[in-house]
Structure 1
Amino acid sequence: MFKKLFSNKKEAQVVEVAAAITGRLVPLAEVPDEAFAQGMMGPGAAIDPSEGVAVAPFDGVVAHLIDTHHAVIVEHESGLQLLIHIGINTVSMQGSGFKALVKTGDAVKAGQPLIEFDLEAIRAAGHSLISPVIVAEEEAAEKVDCQYGTVKAGATGNYTITLKQT
């Protein structure tokens, strides 16, 4: 009993991540890009989108909006950064089919639209729509838990990240 009262060990912080895009949450192994699929870009999951809007996964700040608007990094108050990468190899579209609704440095609320994207334009350009949502700094995450299946942008309950204790 006294160990619990006087323990210096902190409780691990778990960040509840809202679905960044409406669609089907799938394991990274299903991403048709080796770097993402093998987790080399960081741990996480991916979403096969059915709608063309990416939203904030939690309250935070836009740490970086990629110039071509195909990807964005959102930072949680804990310091956790999550990369939302719309489609695979979509950087080659040079921004065509993407409309940023935020800019780097903006404060955002969970579920707030960040980027609109044209599903048909991405398909027509020959790119996969599967969109990785990964921890940008691998060392930040102790564990990533996902309940794969249908997700609605802004809804929670399918994706949590346990942060490493510092």
Structure 2
Amino acid sequence: MVSDVDLNNTLTDEEREEILSELTKLEEDISTLRQVLASKEKHHSELKAKLGITPLIEFKQNFNRSWYDMQTSTAYKKTSETLSTAGQKTSAAFTTLGTAISRKFGDMRNSPSFKSFEEKVECTVSNIKQTKVGSQGGGGSFEEVLSSAAHASAQETPSNNMSESSDHERTC
């Protein structure tokens, strides 16, 4: 392997022999060091096994150490503060939005138009129930019941449409 290397012709034979000798010694040293390292690693593993230190425990320790190092870093702290502030602002915005929507629904529910619509629905449901209860043998199709309820609802006077919900017990 070493003898197959073609060195430039600028070296003398004596220099070449000296370099080849040094290279051979280095390769032997590297081989010896690898054997010593393998032996030391084996001994290291045996000692850990005696202490009950498993690869999983080592992994957990390394992970916990890395996690701690990350959490104490300046970048993590700044990012955490920024996200916390953004979360608080988003939460406040949603709370405000929810309050506004609730208020609008409350206003809409108290409006005369909605009350009139609500009364018409109640009257229609009441008429349908009365028609079904009053009919013999369940007569009439669903379309007929709806039609008769709509007809009855259309005959109401405009003053009844604008009445307050306290008048809700009137006859439909």
Taking structure 2 as the reference length, what is the TM-score of the superposition? 0.18
Larger radius of gyration: 2
Taking structure 1 as the reference length, what is the TM-score of the superposition? 0.18
Higher relative contact order (CA 8 A, sep 6+): 1
- Going by fraction, where is helix more abundant, 1 or 2? 2
